[in-house]
Amino acid sequence: MSGNEAQRTTRWRAAARVGIPGALSGLLAAGAALAVAELSASLIRREAGPVTALGGAVIDRTPAPVKDWAIRTFGTNDKLVLRLGILALLVLFAIALGLAAARFRRTAALGVLLVGAVGAVAAAGRPDAGRFDAVPSLLGAVTGAAVLHFLAGLFPAIRRRPAPDAQEPSPPTAPPPDVPPAFDRRAFVLAATSVAAVSAASGVLATRINQAGSSQAAAARDAIRLPAPASPVTPSPRGADLGVEGITPHLTSNTDFYRVDTALTVPRVNARSWRLRIHGAGVTRPLTLSYDDLLRRELIERHITLTCVSNQVGGPYAGNARWIGVPLADVLRDAGVRPPSEGGPADQLVARSVDGMTLGTPVEAVMDGRDALLAVGMNGEPLPFDHGFPVRMLVPGLYGYVSACKWIEDIELTTFADFDAYWVRRDWAAQAPIRTQSRIDTPRGFADIPAGTVPVAGVAWAQHTGIDRVEVRVDDGPWQETELAAEDTVDTWRQWRWDWPAQPGRHRIEVRATDRTGEIQTSERSDPIPGGATGWHSVVVEVA
């Protein structure tokens, strides 16, 4: 075997011996980096953690069609999938850098610093970023780089050695070229165990600090007793719920109510420290309101159906709940705001969430007499954290992305010409009235059902306009008018039912609705972007 071949063999043997330790070193370095970053984020701001910051940056930069696909594919688990994807990529980077550290120790450490810098830039670039939000990622990067550099120093040296001069024999004391350098496994195991223990302790401490903050917010919520509304909800009329098995209930429970937003981590806002600022064009008396200030105002209670613009035809992202809150128009008038129809200079209300989300709402819609709310309660209890505690905004008749700001903390009056809200910058419509929709809840698509009388039932909505008629047809046959449930209000959906004399075979059932203005739901199929999906919902079933 020649000298060069012997050296290559030596290097490959050494590399093979540090393969698992190298990968482990990379993972330990990543774990240490994340633990330190999350610990520092728990002391600065929970949302400044690198995974949350990177996830938020990914959400912000993801094209709207991809977001829509993620919501359609993963539903409310879309954020969990994103977090797992980010962690998976970090694991792959960590393993690659750990393996590289066996030969390129400093370069691999610099690679860790580079990944941390990406996290720092992502954190600093978030809409709600604080001045110190980049610090956790930077501290984590320095820690991870130091750990990897230290652990890699325990590997056997496998760098390329210069070939010996052919005219000068090798020193007699040189080891045979085919003997790999020694690897002190005991020292490596001791160092790796120490790093893992310190990282685990840091992670546990960060978790406990975050839990303490969350516990304080939860305790503040648990202590709240909502006052009786000055204007209580009118009870749903008899017959508002048809009682058909498989149909969506008239009122949606808090646990079943859909959640679609961009918050990778649900904000846990303490109601005691929460404040709402109202300012901007046409605001002659700027306001800063506390949670108690809102509870001292006259509250109203209403049934209102919310709909997400991401809802596909027949999709699940609509829900009807009993909300209690302060009329938003009254608060705006107390701040001196006038709608455009009364000469006010602002035609857009920009609501900002504690996580930096911005929603733009037509001022005229908020102040035209509909029950637009700063909601504090949902179905008889303070808002759940998932649904915007301590306060969220609701405007009947508009899709949620322009009207239903959760965790709201700021309202600015401006114009549509001067400011584009978060989703408008991503090519969604600036003003988004809800499109008339209807859905078949039962029977389910591809269900096997017996021949005979089969109840076909579902819900239809045209919030703030009202539903006048729902029709169904089978296999492109004549439209059949359905039985409509009693109307609660024009701001809520309505159940419907039709008893179908089902015959054996495969059949397609379609549904369409007509709103209070007489406009029939369009059959033209379109995606949610830019202003809500259209088309008739249909299901295919087998009748035996």
**Per-residue pLDDT at 10:** 52
Q: Looking at the domain assignment, is residue 235 inside a domain?
A: no
How far is 186 from 189, CA to CA, in rounded Å?
5
Q: Looking at the domain assignment, is residue 11 inside a domain?
A: yes
Domain boundary residue among 197, 213, 229? 213
Domain boundary residue among 194, 213, 232? 213
Question: What CATH number is associated with residue 471?
Answer: 2.60.40.650
Our CA dihedral for 367, 371, 375, 380, rounded to 10 degrees, sits at 170
How far is 136 from 138, CA to CA, in rounded Å?
5
Distance of CA 279 to the CA centre of its chain: 28
Domain boundary residue among 426, 453, 485? 426
Domain that holds residue 458: 437-543
DSSP state of 508: E
Q: Looking at the domain assignment, is residue 532 inside a domain?
A: yes
* Judgement on whether residues 17 and 139 belong to the same structural domain of the protein: yes
Question: What CATH number is associated with residue 288?
Answer: 3.90.420.10
DSSP, residue by residue, 104-138: -HHHHHHHHHHHHHHHHHHHHTSTT--TTTTHHHH
How many other C-beta atoms lie within 10 A of the C-beta of residue 161?
11
Which whole-number Å values give the CA distances from 476 to 133, 186, 447, 501, 537, in the listed order?
58, 76, 19, 15, 13
Q: Looking at the domain assignment, is residue 82 inside a domain?
A: yes
* Judgement on whether residues 8 and 60 belong to the same structural domain of the protein: yes
> CB of 413 within 8 A of CB of 331?
no
* Judgement on whether residues 360 and 484 belong to the same structural domain of the protein: no
* Judgement on whether residues 32 and 142 belong to the same structural domain of the protein: yes
Residues paired with 321 in a beta bridge? 304
**Per-residue pLDDT at 262:** 86
**Per-residue pLDDT at 398:** 97
Tell me the three state secondary structure of residue 299: coil
How far is 412 from 363, CA to CA, in rounded Å?
11
Asked whether the CA dihedral 37, 42, 44, 50 is positive or negative, the reply is positive
* Judgement on whether residues 42 and 90 belong to the same structural domain of the protein: yes
* Judgement on whether residues 319 and 396 belong to the same structural domain of the protein: yes
* Judgement on whether residues 328 and 389 belong to the same structural domain of the protein: yes
* Judgement on whether residues 354 and 445 belong to the same structural domain of the protein: no
Distance of CA 404 to the CA centre of its chain: 14
**Per-residue pLDDT at 45:** 87
* Judgement on whether residues 35 and 145 belong to the same structural domain of the protein: yes
How far is 70 from 62, CA to CA, in rounded Å?
10
Q: Looking at the domain assignment, is residue 231 inside a domain?
A: no
> CB of 34 within 8 A of CB of 50?
yes
Helix (H) or strand (E) holding 350: strand 348-353
How many other C-beta atoms lie within 10 A of the C-beta of residue 330?
15
**Per-residue pLDDT at 178:** 46
Tokens, residue 62: 């993801």
* Judgement on whether residues 205 and 348 belong to the same structural domain of the protein: no
Domain tally, the chain? 3
How far is 228 from 300, CA to CA, in rounded Å?
9
Helix (H) or strand (E) holding 358: strand 358-362
Please report, in tens digits, the pLDDT of each residue of the chain (544 residues total): 555 555 555 554 555 556 788 899 999 999 999 999 999 999 998 888 998 888 888 888 888 778 778 877 887 788 888 888 988 999 999 999 999 998 899 999 999 999 999 999 999 988 778 889 999 999 999 999 999 999 998 876 544 444 455 454 555 555 454 444 566 788 889 999 999 999 999 999 998 998 888 899 999 999 999 999 999 999 999 999 999 999 999 999 999 999 998 888 899 999 999 999 999 999 999 999 999 999 999 999 999 999 999 999 999 999 999 999 999 999 999 999 999 999 999 999 999 999 889 999 999 999 999 999 999 999 999 999 999 999 999 999 999 999 999 999 999 999 999 999 999 998 899 999 999 999 999 999 999 999 999 999 999 999 999 999 999 999 999 999 999 999 999 999 999 999 999 999 999 999 999 999 999 999 999 999 899 999 999 999 999 9
How far is 113 from 33, CA to CA, in rounded Å?
10
* Judgement on whether residues 417 and 457 belong to the same structural domain of the protein: no
**Per-residue pLDDT at 521:** 97
Select from 146, 147, 124 the least CA-distant residue to 135: 124
* Judgement on whether residues 88 and 12 belong to the same structural domain of the protein: yes
The pTM score is: 0.82
